[in-house]
Each structure stands twice: as C-alpha cells, then as structure tokens.
Structure 1
Amino acid sequence: MEQPEEEPAKSTQKPASKSRSGSKSGKKTSSAKQQSGKEEKTAQTAAPKSEKRRGRPRKKSVAEESQPVVPAPVQVSAPAQPAARKSGRRTRQKEDALASVRIIPLGGLGEIGKNMTVIETPQDIVIIDCGLAFPDDDMPGIDLVIPDFSYVVQNRDKVRGIFLTHGHEDHIGGLSYLLKELNIPVYAARLTIGLVEGKLKEAGNLKTAKLNIIKAGDTIRCGSISVEAIAVNHSIPDACAFAIFTPAGTLVHTGDFKIDYTPVDGQMIDLARFGELGRHGVLALMSDSTNAERPGMTPSERRVGEAFEMLFNKAGDRRIIVASFSSNVHRIQQIINVAVRHGRKIVVSGRSMENVTAKAMELGYLKAPKDAVLDVDHMKGIPDEKMVVITTGSQGEPMSALTRMARGEHRKLSVTSHDFIIISANPIPGNEKLVGKVINDLMKLGADVIYESSMGIHVSGHACREEIRTILGLTKPRFFIPVHGEYKHLAKNRDLAREMGIQDDRIMVAENGQVIELTAESMKSVTSVVSGAVMVDGSGIGDVGSIVLRDRRMLSEEGLIIAVATIDSKTGAILAGPDVVSRGFVYVRESEELLVGARQVCRQALAAAGNGQGGREWSNLKQAVRDQLGSYLFNKTKRRPIILPIIQEV
C-alpha cells in the first residue's frame, strides 16, 4: 500500500534494553532530548531475572561475547525451591494466583487493518501496534481510518510504551496520530523505526518522538510488564513476535508471521524460543489468523524469485514492469537479483516505492550493485530490453504509478505493446474491481499482463493452518485468543485450537473494545471500553462521524435539493421565491414540471408554518419545507435527496 513521501532520516540511537543472551543496552534511540521522570525510568530499566535458556545454545555475536549473561524471563509457575523457602514460595504462588492481566484489543479484530492491542496490569500499560485501515466503499471522502485510542489517552499515566511488530501500514500507520496525544517511548526493530521516522517527519512530530531500536532477543522492562522481541518471518524484514511477561503469567503475541525455512534474507523464525516459552509456561497465545482458513503451509518467498526468473526469460527484449507492495522488501530484493542477472537496470516508480527502497538500501536491507537502481528521472537512454520498472499500484490504487500508467497520465512512463507487466500481489478483499480495471486498461494499451497467482508470482506473508498448529504446539498456551483478521478468520483459528485439544472455555473470539481479564486459572470478559473507527479526512481527525457519512452517501446516491425563499419579518409574506435548485438529483431541463410542483409545495409549507402556533421561528419554517418537500419528491420519484432550506427574513 502507498506510504507518505519521506526523506530518509538516520537513526543513530540504540536500544535501552538487555537481550536474553546477555548484551547490554545501548543508548536510547530518540530524536528528542533526554527527559527525566518516573515513567521513563520505569520503562527503560533492565530486564527481569529468570531461568537460563535451555536447549541448543545459539552462537553469540562479538558484542554478546563481552557481556554478562542475563537469565531468561520468569516462569508462569515458580520453580521448586529448597525446603527452607517453602513459606516464601507459598506466598509467591498465592500472589501469582491472585495476579491478573487485561488484554484489550482496540483494533484488528473482525476486520483487516488498524491493529492495536493494550496489555494492562493494575499498575502499567503497554501497547502492541497502532495501525490504520483504508476506508470502505461506504465511506466517501475518507482518506484513512485509525483506531479510537481514547482509552489509552484517558489512562496516560499508566502507559509505559508502544511496541511495533513490523513496518506495515496496518501496524504503524496510526502511530503519528497516537504520539500527538501521548508522547510515549516507541520500541521496534531497525527497519520498522526507519519507516516510522519517515511517517513522523511528514506528520511533524519526529523531533519529539522517543524512538528506540530493539532486536530479537532484547527484553524491555516497563514497570510490572516486560516485553521480549522474538524473530519471525513475514513479508517485510525485522518482523517480531512479542513475549509479554506479567505478574499473572506470560503472554505471547505472534504479530504477523509465517514459517519460512528458506527466507530471502537468511533470518529464520526463532522456533526454539517459542518452544522454550512453552516449556516455562504460556498463559495466553494471541495468534495471527489471516490465513487460518488455508490448509498446509505458506510457500517460501524464494518461490517467487524462481517465477521471476522464468518470466524474465519469457519477456525477451520487452520492457518489464513489476507492480508489488512497496513494503515487501524481500520481493523487491528478488526482482533486483533477477534483473541484475539478466543485465537490466532497475527503475523505481511511485512515491512510497521510492521512499521504502531508499530507506531499505540506506539501512542495508536491500542490496544492489552500484548504479543498478535508478529513479524515473534518470532512466533516459536505457533501452527497453535493459530495463525493469518496479512500481506501486498492485492494488489498483487510483493515484498509484501503475494506475496512472494505465490511464496514460504518468509523466515519465507510457505503456505500449512492447511492455511485459507482472502484478506480483493478490488483490486485498474489496480491491478486486480496482485491480481488474487497471488490468483491462493496460491490456487495451497492448501490454502483456501477468496477474494470475497460479503463476507463482505472489506468496502470502501470513501463516497457514500447519504453521499456526506448529506455534500452538510449541507454546502450549493455557488460553488462546485469535487476533488479526475478519470474524471468519478468527473462527477458523478457534476451530484449529479445538483440534489441538484446547477446551472451548479456554478460547475466546473477542471483539474490539472487549476487556479480557486473565489470571493463572481463568479467562473472562469483564467489561468493554470505547473502541471503533476514527476517520481521517484531510487534516480533520475524528470530525467525520456516522451522520456526516450518511449525508455524504445520500448526496452521492440521491443528490441535493436547495429551497431558497425570502420572507417579510413582520408579516411573514413571501417576498422572493421560493426557488428550487437541483444538484445531482434530476436534470433540470427534463424535469421542469417536477420543479414547478416543488416550488408550489414550498410556498404552501411556508404559508402554513408561518400561520401556526409556532409563529415564524426559522427552525419551524425550515422543518416544514424539509418535511413537505421531501414527501412530495418521494411520491413523484421514489428518491430521498438531501433537502437544504435557506430562508431569509427582511
């Protein structure tokens, strides 16, 4: 999906954390000056003590070799203690049994997008993600939708920080709006922070943001809550799951994930850590549900590279144009690799594609030979057979580069019969018509368009049933909460948990705003908080509600009638009008009889209302015109336009 234009900004700060392998914390990654205070001290203290990690040892980095070992997080149930400590152990076990933690989803359940989850203990709150969603067809004029985070604003004194699973818009797109309300520490991996910096720069709050780079294995203590990042595979580098350690027990949030045994960047999902957490005891698992309907496993991203190799050979001497998600850095890397092998230069088109590519290359997540990647302003003179264009527009977005090419409106690129176009993405539900129109328009221009997923040109970044089954088997959670998906996805994930032997009373398919309270032995829904969709329209945030949307839909579907009249303030006599103006309702020249009748109805309504008990109150006059004119027009046309009476007194 398209991202706002950004200038790459260097992130020179390092995490305030300790990794479970023992690496000490570096400097705080913040573009703001250091601020003192209780909240910041609490959010950045060292990781909790725990048992040493079991299992096959992981090879340490050079930095880790020189650092002391920090034990892994505490178990859900306390380990056995010597007999002399029985009393203390019983007290601690009793406290653990009484401890509770709340999980409050504010977005991402029963929908695709605007993912946001609150984890709350009596003393502290941490947030997982703050994303956006794109508007539905019944939201005319709306640019994007973000979660209603009024609950965390109301509890600002408890909020210790926000943790981002990865850099996709549905997980970070609402962050700039949240930080305008709450300037809390942000913790995320390096590429995610790089993408966040660009969004905050455009929003104007980068300088004050408290951005902290973390890596897989790091644990951040936020008061009574500690959060550990765990490496997972997804369609963007640096994706993380989180283990959240609370007095009540350990929660695991998978984020968006898949299991890729041959990842493009060589970074494997840390299945061993999931298994270790399971052996220690996981109170609740929150798992990605996007592909819970699909059997088997999601294919490796490398399969797409093999398909590109075949298609580049098929293209021959034609120019190749590939449309993909701008954030799919692994996909872009594979396109670059194949293009270089075929002796082609890579041209990047589309603002978000240019921004993400520049940032990923700056941070080392994309690699290409010197001068192999160009922007559209420097492609002059490169022959078609030596060029590959990587562009936005895989979802048919109206202002994307590929859509503008299809309409013949791109300032630098014109599609011809000598173009071989690959759309390397499946349409997101709801975008099928947009994508279909772009494909039709490209084909009308003579281009050869490859878009079938059966060609192997796209694989999902989300886990299918066997991968979810693997995580369930490793973590062995006491309770299970499906997240990230429409209701049908959540329900299928619930069914999968049942198959794995988790009892119905230990599974909860929740809704946004539902407050789920967990103890060591129970899970229940206790109340609900304000949640929902906050619509962003231009610079307006939340000022468009259901009534405004209803009026916009009526305007778009039924049109507008304006009734204008001038009356004498003393006598109530009509001095001018009434005139009736139609916009989007009927064609005036062909509906003169209807409009003459409408004027007569307005005149009668004004006369009757002016002589009634209410006198000549403007509100009474306007309502009378609105009611009687509305009835007349519906009887004649069976349509209900918006009626706007304008009455002046002189």
Structure 2
Amino acid sequence: MSNETLKIIPLGGLGEFGMNCMAIQWKDDIVVIDAGLMFPEDDLLGVDIVVPDITYLLENREKVRGILLTHGHEDHIGGLPRILSQLNVPVYGTEFTLTLLEGKLEEHKLLDDADMIEMLPGESFSLGVFKISPIRVTHSLVDCVALAIRTPVGTIVHTGDFKIDLASPDGKPFDLHSFAELGKEGVLLLLQDSTNCDRTGYTPGELAVKPRLDEIFARTEKRLFFSCFSSSIHRIKLAMDLAHKHGRKVALIGRSMDNASEIAMDLGYINPPQGLIVHSGAIKDLPPEKVCVMISGTQGEPMSALSRAAVDNHKHARIEAGDTVLFSSRVIPGNEKAIYNVIDHLYRRKAKVIHDDGKSGLIHVSGHASQEELRLMINLLRPKFFVPVHGDYRHLTQHIEVATGTGIPGKCVLLEDGEVLELTATSAEKTGKVNSGRILIDSGSTSDVVEDIIIRDRRHLSEAGLVLAIITIDKMSGKLAGPPEIVTRGFAVNEEGMIKDARRIIGQTLEQSSSEEKRDWMLIKEKVRADLKRYIQKNTQRRPMIMPVILEI
C-alpha cells in the first residue's frame, strides 16, 4: 500500500447486515467509523453476538485517533465493549448515542476508563490530519449524524443510516442544506447506506404512521398492547401522545423498552404529561379501555415480555379476550417463525392482532432511504467516486446500479470486508486486503470468544462436556410419559446425583409451565435448558453444552 494515498478499509458491514465498522487512514492517522455487532444465524450454536475482527487496528493501535459513531443502534455501537477492552481510544458521538453507550460500558465495567466526547451537528473538530463535520440526518432513531471528513486528498462523506425526513417529530429535520453546500465544495467519495436500495420511490417520514395509529387507538375497545422496536423513540413518543389524546394511561413493560424510554425522557425527546405513565403493577386496577401497554418483543424473542405475555406467563402483562395487540414494526428476515408463533398464541387468547396487514394506512415505516432519496443525495453531493456500504453483496451490487444510473460518480467501487481502497484526488483503486472477519462471542461475555463454530464446539465439549436431556411427552396430555433420560459425555462431576436432580428439575419446569407453553416445544426446550444450566453452574461451576430433545408419543 502506498503511503501517499488515502485508504478506505471496511472491517465489517460490507457483505452483511450489521457489524458496521470502517477505518479511514492517511499515513499515521486512522479514524474508525462505527463499531457494531451482528446477531448470529441459527447455525452458530451457543454464540450470542458477532463483532468485527479488529486485528488491523490492533496492529496499528498507535495510529488510531478515535472512533466516530453515526448513531446508537446495536449494529453501529454494539461491538464497542469488546473493542474498547482491547483498544481504548476516544469515542465521539452525539448525546443520545453516548448515553446509550454508557449503559453498555458500565455493564462491562469499562465506563470509568472510557473517553467519550460529545459531538454536535454543525460543529467541526480535528482528529490527526482529518477534519470531522457531523451533519444532522434522520433515521428511525434520534440524534443521528452523517460524517463529512476532510482529508489531504479531498472530502469523504459517510451517510450512516439515514432517510430524508423533512418533518421529523423531534423538530430536527434532515439537513439538506449542509449536503448541498458540500456538493458545491466538491466531494471526493460518497459512502452511502444500501439497506433499502432495492425499494423504489421515497421512504415515508415517521409521521406517516400517525393517521392509522390514531384510528387504531380510537377503535380499540379494551386494552391496547403497543409493541415497537425499543429504539424507535419517535414511535414511542407518538404512541404516548395518542394514548393521552384517547384517555389511556401508559405502562412500560420490558427492560429494553423501559431503558430506552427513560433515556429519551431524561434527554427531553419524550415529555409525557404528568400522570400519563403508570407502574406496570397498576394495569389490573385500571379499566381496560383506559390502558395502553408499551411492550417489547416485536421479533418474537423467546423470553421477551410480549412472548411471555402471549402464553400468560408475565406478572403484569395479562392479555385477555378482546384486547388488541399492535406490532408497529417490520419482520426482520429470519425471525418469521418466532413472530408467527407469538401471533398464534395471541390468537389463542382471542386477542385482536394487528401487524403488517396490508390495510390502508401505515403502522410502520422504515428508517432507511429508498432509491429516489439515494439518487437525490448523489445529485446533491456529486461525488467523484462512490462506494455502497451496509448490506449484503446483492444490496451493494444493486446500489451501484442505482448510483450509475445518475450518471454522476466517475467511478463506483464494490468493496467487501477487508479490501483496501486507495484514493488520490483523481483515482480510486482496490489494492489488497487486510486481516478481517468476525469474532464470535458466547454468553454475552467479551472474554469468551470463539474463532469458529467448530473450534468452539470442540473446546466446549472437551472442557465441559455435553448434557443431553431426552424428554418424552404424551402428545394428548402434555405430561411426561416417563422419567427424562439424561445422557452425559465428558461431564464427570458427581454424575449420579446430578442426573437425579436434573430429572427432578425437568419435571418441575414442565409442571410449572402452562398448557399453552407445553404446546410450544421451542419455548419448553429453552426453559429446560435455562433451568438445567442454572442448576449445573451453581452446583458444579461447570458450563457443559446442554441440549434438550423432546419426543412426542
């Protein structure tokens, strides 16, 4: 690699959704844009999160000047606890983004040593040779920015996640003017969000959902359970406003919903009227038509508040016949089965379920720009060179077709993780690769890292062994058809006593499960696994792989 060129080095997010991380280097100065995580596919057994391999940054740690965060979604900040434990450099973000990050770092005992610096849209600052200018953009989260980075060879613009919303509910619209000014100055390279590049037209603004949601609030006769992404602060605020308008009290249920709402209220993004929000324990004392429950679990996560409420296993959220459950969210690919399992349980409770029903009016809008907005940005900035970011290979390819259709970028380059793009004022060429890839993290711990699922399984089995719980259940009654069979391999700590206790625990788990839960084998297996794991860790300090198997007869 030449020392007289600007290097663009994606370490994650180009070739997959999530794990966004990009290094920009000029000689001895490196800045990093975002440090996200990715949630694992089903085949990555035992893996909780996936983060980018930052070997290149560690090899050049003395050159890294800081990490710049575009916004606070997990796929942009979720990898920071691990990265900062290895590479403690200053982190720059907006107020809301840094507040979200504080909780993560505190959980990992990294907050005291972290150097977090707030950046404000419109106020530039320098990091090494780079001059950074944050620019206000709109997205499904609040306080999001794009980054204009002035370098020795020209200006780079990284859009972050964005859509063009000129009527943002927080009164902070997309800053078209600043992008137009950058276009007049001249832009060398545009790095643009590819998420919705396959969608024609424009993405509706956040307020586009208000008419349909208002209608749902007006027509709902009993309790309304309102579920959306906990990071959708605009949606939460709108739901609270509509609840107040229609005379309903609001209860917040679910840790993520509670935390995000608390941060948004502390920072002034949500200002509920006095007395609007009630404790979840008060739900049962209020008339059903006076209640709106904001509840987390839109993606059918097995232990989320909504999933538990759907099988009548939540302390406060009791869904009864005639209640309405609204999913104001999209179905993330891969989550379809889990979501429809929850919806099935809701129908069994005789609840009215509203999801993406195709009726007139919107109940959810995307936070990402569609084709016409992407073209508008390219026309405003008029970059010499173009690189699509944030997406699978097919999205990156389609995005280049969209950009090429504008006739503006002199050259479009499709980059993947680890590839190096070298820029001068007049050229852009791929010149090689650096170490990149993914790090698999187990049990949410930054120390329990596995290089590959096969290696992870071998190590797990060799160190802790395997516990296989074979449970035979009578299909008609839902009861045990006989004692569970416990098979262990490589697990030799008081096996006889442990097996006896394991059988007892499985029996207790099934006895304490409702008939509805027993019809959902995925949920039962997760409950059995969690109970056995808790018992074995407490009594043996060992962490075997636990695999429940349910046989119906």
TM-score using structure 1 length: 0.69
Equivalence for 2:121: 216
Q: Could you tell me how far apart the structure 1 residues matched to 2:50 and 2:30 are?
A: 24
Equivalence for 1:313: 218
* CA positional deviation for 1:486: 1.2
* CA positional deviation for 1:308: 0.9
- Report if the CA contact (8 A) 2:371-2:402 is conserved: yes
- Report if the CA contact (8 A) 1:253-1:286 is conserved: yes
- 1:237 to 1:582, Cα distance in 2 relative to 1, 3 A: closer
- Report if the CA contact (8 A) 1:98-1:519 is conserved: no
**1:517 has 2:422 as partner:** yes
**What letter is aligned with 1:209?**
A
Equivalence for 2:506: none
Equivalence for 1:462: 368
1:288 to 193, 201, 206: 193
Equivalence for 1:198: 103
Q: Could you tell me how far apart the structure 2 residues matched to 1:370 and 1:267 are?
A: 25
* CA positional deviation for 1:378: 4.3
Q: Equivalences for 1:430-469 in 2 at 5 Å?
A: 430-452=334-356, 454-455=358-359, 456-469=362-375
Equivalence for 1:490: 396
Residue by residue over 1:573-627, the C-alpha shift from the partner in whole angstroms, topping out at 9 and shown as x without a partner, is: xxxxxxxx99599xxxxxxxxxxxxxxxxxxxxxxxxxxxxxxxxxxxxxxxxxx
Residue by residue over 1:618-648, the C-alpha shift from the partner in whole angstroms, topping out at 9 and shown as x without a partner, is: xxxxxxxxxxxxxxxxxxxxxxxx9xxxxxx
Identity rate of aligned residues, in percent? 43
- Partner of 1:296, secondary structure, is coil
* CA positional deviation for 1:490: 1.0
* CA positional deviation for 1:377: 3.4
Q: Could you tell me how far apart the structure 1 residues matched to 2:206 and 2:116 are?
A: 30
Q: Could you tell me how far apart the structure 2 residues matched to 1:406 and 1:262 are?
A: 36
Residue by residue over 1:251-302, the C-alpha shift from the partner in whole angstroms, topping out at 9 and shown as x without a partner, is: 0000000011221112111111111111111110000000000000001111
Unaligned 5+ runs, structure 1: 1-96, 562-580, 586-641, 643-650
**1:545 has 2:452 as partner:** yes
Q: Could you tell me how far apart the structure 1 residues matched to 2:453 and 2:66 are?
A: 31
* CA positional deviation for 1:245: 0.8
- Partner of 1:218, secondary structure, is coil
- Partner of 2:124, secondary structure, is strand
- Report if the CA contact (8 A) 2:378-2:408 is conserved: no
Equivalence for 2:247: 343
* CA positional deviation for 1:541: 3.6
- Report if the CA contact (8 A) 2:3-2:26 is conserved: no
Residue by residue over 1:161-215, the C-alpha shift from the partner in whole angstroms, topping out at 9 and shown as x without a partner, is: 1111111111111111111112211111111111111111111111111111111
Q: Could you tell me how far apart the structure 2 residues matched to 1:526 and 1:243 are?
A: 24
* CA positional deviation for 1:543: 2.7
**What letter is aligned with 2:106?**
K
* CA positional deviation for 1:467: 0.3
Residue by residue over 1:18-49, the C-alpha shift from the partner in whole angstroms, topping out at 9 and shown as x without a partner, is: xxxxxxxxxxxxxxxxxxxxxxxxxxxxxxxx
- Partner of 1:524, secondary structure, is strand
* CA positional deviation for 1:368: 0.6
- Report if the CA contact (8 A) 2:382-2:408 is conserved: no
**What letter is aligned with 2:274?**
K
Equivalence for 1:481: 387
**What letter is aligned with 1:546?**
I
- Report if the CA contact (8 A) 1:140-1:552 is conserved: no
**What letter is aligned with 1:495?**
E
- 1:383 to 1:439, Cα distance in 2 relative to 1, 3 A: same
Equivalence for 2:270: 366
Deviant stretches of 4+, over 6 Å: 552-555
Equivalence for 2:322: 418
Q: Could you tell me how far apart the structure 1 residues matched to 2:487 and 2:180 are?
A: 64
Q: Could you tell me how far apart the structure 2 residues matched to 1:261 and 1:345 are?
A: 31
Q: Equivalences for 1:86-165 in 2 at 5 Å?
A: 99-165=4-70
- Partner of 1:452, secondary structure, is coil
**1:322 has 2:226 as partner:** yes
- 1:306 to 1:549, Cα distance in 2 relative to 1, 3 A: farther
Residue by residue over 1:363-387, the C-alpha shift from the partner in whole angstroms, topping out at 9 and shown as x without a partner, is: 1111110121234234442221111
- Partner of 1:440, secondary structure, is helix
* CA positional deviation for 1:98: 9.3
* CA positional deviation for 1:526: 1.2
Unaligned 5+ runs, structure 2: 469-484, 490-544, 546-553
* CA positional deviation for 1:532: 1.4
Q: Could you tell me how far apart the structure 2 residues matched to 1:513 and 1:377 are?
A: 51
Q: Could you tell me how far apart the structure 2 residues matched to 1:487 and 1:304 are?
A: 31
- Partner of 2:157, secondary structure, is strand
**What letter is aligned with 2:148?**
A
Equivalence for 1:253: 158
* CA positional deviation for 1:477: 0.5
* CA positional deviation for 1:548: 3.2
- Partner of 2:226, secondary structure, is strand
Residue by residue over 1:119-153, the C-alpha shift from the partner in whole angstroms, topping out at 9 and shown as x without a partner, is: 11102011111111111011111111111112112
**What letter is aligned with 1:405?**
A
- Report if the CA contact (8 A) 1:396-1:438 is conserved: yes
**What letter is aligned with 1:542?**
V
- Find the structure with the greater CA-based Rg: 1
- Report if the CA contact (8 A) 1:537-1:544 is conserved: no
**1:398 has 2:302 as partner:** yes
- 1:340 to 1:529, Cα distance in 2 relative to 1, 3 A: same
- Report if the CA contact (8 A) 1:426-1:453 is conserved: no
- Partner of 2:50, secondary structure, is strand
Q: Could you tell me how far apart the structure 2 residues matched to 1:191 and 1:324 are?
A: 19
Q: Could you tell me how far apart the structure 2 residues matched to 1:552 and 1:137 are?
A: 19
**What letter is aligned with 2:398?**
K
- Partner of 1:396, secondary structure, is coil
**What letter is aligned with 1:432?**
E
- Partner of 1:488, secondary structure, is helix
- What is the root-mean-square deviation of aligned Cα atoms in Å? 2.3
1:381 to 263, 285, 298: 285
Q: Could you tell me how far apart the structure 1 residues matched to 2:357 and 2:71 are?
A: 25
TM-score using structure 2 length: 0.81
- 1:560 to 1:236, Cα distance in 2 relative to 1, 3 A: closer
Q: Could you tell me how far apart the structure 2 residues matched to 1:165 and 1:256 are?
A: 8
**What letter is aligned with 1:465?**
Q
Equivalence for 1:274: 179
Q: Equivalences for 1:602-641 in 2 at 5 Å?
A: none
- Partner of 1:330, secondary structure, is helix
2:378 to 435, 447, 472: 472
- 1:453 to 1:288, Cα distance in 2 relative to 1, 3 A: farther
- Report if the CA contact (8 A) 2:298-2:306 is conserved: yes
- 1:416 to 1:560, Cα distance in 2 relative to 1, 3 A: closer
Equivalence for 1:265: 170
- Report if the CA contact (8 A) 2:450-2:456 is conserved: no
- 1:550 to 1:205, Cα distance in 2 relative to 1, 3 A: closer
- Report if the CA contact (8 A) 1:99-1:247 is conserved: no
How many corresponding residue pairs?
466
Q: Equivalences for 1:166-185 in 2 at 5 Å?
A: 166-185=71-90
- 1:385 to 1:235, Cα distance in 2 relative to 1, 3 A: same
**What letter is aligned with 1:235?**
S
Q: Could you tell me how far apart the structure 1 residues matched to 2:312 and 2:41 are?
A: 27
* CA positional deviation for 1:473: 0.2
